[in-house]
Chains A and B, each alone.
Chain A
Amino acid sequence: MRRFEFLIEWALFLCALLSIATTAGIIVVLAIETVAFLREVPIAAFLFGTEWTPLFATPRFGVLPLVAGTVLVSTIAMVVALPMGLLSSIYLSEYAAPRVRRLVKPVLEILAGVPTVVYGYFALLFVTPLLQRLLPNLAGFNALGPGIVMGIMILPLVSSLSEDAMQAVPRGLREGSYALGATKMQTSLRVVLPAAFSGITAAFILAASRAIGETMIVAIAAGQQPRLTLNPMLPIETMTAYIVQVSLGDTPQGTLEYRTIFAVGMLLFLGTFVLNLLSAWLRERFREEYS
């Protein structure tokens, strides 16, 4: 009996350990190919080169155009998602009746559950043509349309995590503010928001990490032209879209082209990993403040 219990506990522990193995697997797989890649391309040329043409006859492996594309689209997404998500969460947390909140929250969650490939369709065939009516110079593939749609996609994440953070602020702080004669708006903006600041920042950072890793919207609607620009009207390519572009072709294992997607993937993994850690650390700090 005791031996059986012992075996069970070990089996369960091994299952839990699989998550560590997954992280290790990601790092090992990415590292092996990245090291092989960097043996042929100097790291400085990779990180600081301004031309990304790995599929050309005279290939160049400067990753900056892909990084610029990723940063550009993510920034547009954040410009949409942050103010809208924050205002939505203030409304839901501070103004809305409980009945309204119970009704609206699941509907907002649906926005987060729509498959990204459907968002890509929406960006390419609805949002971009709509924007072209306002901005005639907008290219058919561009950073603006997918950026806005990506902002709509991560809005529920910003809104629900910020709302959780605001709900965790003790009621006494609000009551104190009302007792001093403050209005709801003053209380929300000057008392609740600062008190929930680290929790809200954690939500923003997690949303940025999601935007950087988002793939299908940009693969469909942003074009596949690596371009070192911050002009949102032009076709660009993000790191994720590049990985998709190469994966669609039949790339033989062991070629330099095959290794580029792992090198780009490593950069993407490290970038989002740092953001995720930062977000988790802020959330932990916020939890300690009010428990």
Chain B
Amino acid sequence: MSASQRAGGGAIARRRLLDLSFQALALVVLCLALAALGALIADVWSDGGRRLSWDFLTGFPSRRPADAGVWHALTGSIFVILVTGLLAVPIGVAAAIYLEEYGTRSLSARIIEINITNLAAVPSIIYGLLGLGLFVRALGMGRSVLAGASTLALLVLPVIILSTREALRAVPPSIREGSYALGATKWQTVWYQVLPVALPGILTGTILALSRAIGETAPLITIGALTFVAFAPDGLWSPFTVLPIQIFNWVSRPQAEFQVNAAAASLVLLALLLTMNAAAIWLRDRYQKDLG
């Protein structure tokens, strides 16, 4: 073997070593990110796991941390999210149908599209200021469930529109053409053919959007949702609190016992999110089978 060949072999070995260490570095970084998720869940579980009980779920807030529960906040969260869905889903789906099926090439549709992409990236606290100025003050809704749900509805609308468009786009054009060939009008085609096929996809996107809204804290604090409401909401005009706000309230107190409550309430919130996400994944799996 000549000297130059040996040098070449050394360079190749060095390059291979460099390549391997780079791969190892990237893998370590990825594992670090996953470890952070593990640490987060382990930390919240070890702080709050022992506080979880039926009494905690069905209890009301109390000045004594050991007696306090989350019933008011849990029902508040679920109620607000249901009203948010009722407001946002019909409007979001209708807007997506317009953009995807009707106005695809028009200038106005293009402008609306750019606008929606921008809205999806506006910080959520800005929606809180909009809700405060528009719903709470100008429209006189006060700090009610309706004001909170309207604010969250505007917040999730762009996400629902974007995911519904994805679902509509996945419907094969042949279905529309078949319907037109049988003499159906545009709306009949959309209503009787396209929507039923796209429905599971729309539902999946909607649930994921609402699960994002259920964890939102900042916009609801900004519109003045109370941090200490000792009852479950009983109507659209009722004052309310939600789980994230209750967690924020407890974590901001100096006493360690309240921080334990915050961890336990976080577990309840994470369980709620997990349930919604599992429902979305189950729907998506069904959907994939249907098209195949």
Contacts and interface: CB of A to CB of B under 8 A. Distances in A.
A29 B217 contact: no
A1 B26 CA distance: 61
Contact of B133 (A11, A210, A262, A272): A262
Contacts of A113: 211-212, 215, 273, 277
Interface stretch (B40-48, B56-64, B194-202, B232-240): B40-48
Given A18-B157, A248-B221, A91 B247 contact: no
A243 B112 contact: no
Nearest to A107: B34
Contact of B118 (A4, A16, A84, A277): A277
Interface residues of B, number: 87
User: A-side binding surface: helix, strand, loop or mixed?
Assistant: helix
A29 B19 contact: no
A120 B248 contact: yes
Contacts of B16: 183
B263 A121 contact: yes
B91 A15 contact: yes
A58 interface: no
B129 A265 contact: yes
A271 B254 CA distance: 34
Contact of A1 (B133, B185, B227): B185
B9 to A, nearest CB: 14
A107 B277 CA distance: 12
A276 B259 CA distance: 36
Interface string B205-226: 0000001101111100111100
B244 interface: yes
B265 to A, nearest CB: 9
Contact of A117 (B25, B134, B215): B215
A262 B185 contact: no
Interface of B: 15-16, 18-19, 22-23, 25-27, 29-30, 32-34, 36-37, 39-40, 43-44, 47, 90-92, 94-95, 97-99, 102-103, 108-109, 111-112, 114-119, 121-130, 132-134, 137, 154, 157-158, 161, 185-187, 211-212, 214-218, 221-224, 227, 244, 247-248, 251-252, 259, 262-263, 266, 269-270, 273, 277
6 contacts: A116-B218, A213-B125, A213-B126, A244-B222, A268-B126, A269-B122
